[in-house]
């Protein structure tokens, strides 16, 4: 009975020692602050604007060119009438 008690005390002591060593590391993980944003969205907005304005401006230039050609045709046809 005495041997059983000594082994139990030794096991309990080792368990407490192990718990004392491990317990501080259980709560060691603290929440880190959020990282600073690498972009505030300006670059994305500029990319979207570029992607939408380039086709629209090219269509507008085509329309302006058509109007100028029609104007030249109209002016040429008017000058021959007189």
Kindly state whether residue 32 falls inside one of the protein's structural domains.
no
What tokens appear for 29 in the block? 């993980």
Kindly state whether residue 31 falls inside one of the protein's structural domains.
no
What tokens appear for 26 in the block? 């259980």
Rounded to a whole number of angstroms, the CA Rg of the chain reads: 41
Separation between Cα atoms, residue 49 and residue 25, nearest integer Å: 51
Separation between Cα atoms, residue 28 and residue 21, nearest integer Å: 12
With 70 as the cut, is the pLDDT of residue 80 above it? no
Kindly state whether residue 35 falls inside one of the protein's structural domains.
no
Buried-exposed string 12-22: b where 16+ CB fall within 10 A, e elsewhere? eeeeeeeeeee
Separation between Cα atoms, residue 24 and residue 18, nearest integer Å: 11
pLDDT tens string 11-66: 888 888 888 887 766 666 667 788 887 777 778 888 888 888 888 888 888 888 88
Structural domain boundaries, residue 76: 2-25+41-81
């Amino acid at each position: 009975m005495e041997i059983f008690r000594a082994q139990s005390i030794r096991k309990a002591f080792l368990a407490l020692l192990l718990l004392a060593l491990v317990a501080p590391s259980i709560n060691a993980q603290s929440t880190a602050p959020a990282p600073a944003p690498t972009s505030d969205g300006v670059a994305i907005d500029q990319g979207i604007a570029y992607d939408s304005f380039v086709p629209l401006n090219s269509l507008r230039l085509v329309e302006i060119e058509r109007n100028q050609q029609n104007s030249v045709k109209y002016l040429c046809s008017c000058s021959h009438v007189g």
